[in-house]
Amino acid sequence: MRTKIFTWCFIALALVSMVIGYRYSTQLKQGISQKPEKTSAMIEKSVGVVTPDTRIIYEKEYQECGHTVVSGYSQRDKLMGLDSRGLNDYFKKSQGYSVSLVDNIMVIHQTISNKCPEEQNEFKIKEYRGYIAVYTGAEENEILLRVTSIRAEMLPENIQRDIRAGKYSFQDEAKLNDTLENLDEYQ
């Protein structure tokens, strides 16, 4: 009898621990996954003005693909001598900018609604009037490069489905051509 009570208490304790652990982990995940809200382009903890010694980091966040490109800022001479007010006038929130200047390091963050240049230059295999075609560019401004002689209906069903789902995209034209040669063998 005593062992049964002990077993049931142990099971109840284990279940309670699992529930508490699960709730804690979901709250922790939610806290980590939420990005800090960017409310304005205001300078955080502004330290003086931009000088030749100020290190400038330029971040471009492309929302459509989720990539962030980090580089130097090519027009740093235009920023020399600007204080927080001047920087806020130069980098407008309405244009997707936020700026921070802390400890002589300035971070310019720009949010852009398109895909990054790397993904805009990708090649995609799609169907065009029953034939396999090659497109390039962003989804909303795609350019039809060429239409092949490969009939889409001759391809296996799973490949047709993947092409229609947009799963055939390439950064390298050589890989694109290799794939087209492989698809041509189904004819």
Domain span at residue 180 reads 121-184
DSSP-derived secondary structure for the chain: -HHHHHHHHHHHHHHHHHHHHHHHHHHHHHHHHSPPP----PPSS--S---TT-EEEEEEEETTT--EEEE--TTGGGTTT--HHHHHHHS-GGGTEEEEEETTEEEEEEEESS--HHHHT-EEEEEETTEEEEEES-GGG-EEEEEEEEEGGGS-HHHHHHHHTT--EES-HHHHHHHHHHHHTT-
- In angstroms, the CA 155 to CA 11 distance is 56
Q: Does the pLDDT at position 47 exceed 60?
A: no
Residues 104 and 125 in one domain: no
| Residue 108 maps to a domain | yes
**Mean pLDDT estimate for the chain:** 81
Domain count, the chain: 3
Q: State the pLDDT at residue 36.
A: 47
> Per-residue confidence at 65, pLDDT binned at 50, 70, 90?
confident
| Residue 11 maps to a domain | yes
Residues ≥6 apart with Cβ < 8 Å to 91: 41, 97, 98, 99, 108
The answer to whether 146 and 102 are in contact (CB under 8 A) is no
Percent of all residues in the chain with a pLDDT value above 90, rounded to a whole number: 30
> Per-residue pLDDT averaged across 137-147, rounded?
80
Q: State the pLDDT at residue 22.
A: 66
| Residue 44 maps to a domain | no
Residues 108 and 130 in one domain: no
| Residue 88 maps to a domain | yes
| Residue 22 maps to a domain | yes
Q: Does the pLDDT at position 33 exceed 50?
A: no
Residues 30 and 71 in one domain: no
- In angstroms, the CA 81 to CA 13 distance is 64
> Per-residue pLDDT averaged across 85-101, rounded?
89
- In angstroms, the CA 73 to CA 75 distance is 6
- In angstroms, the CA 125 to CA 164 distance is 9
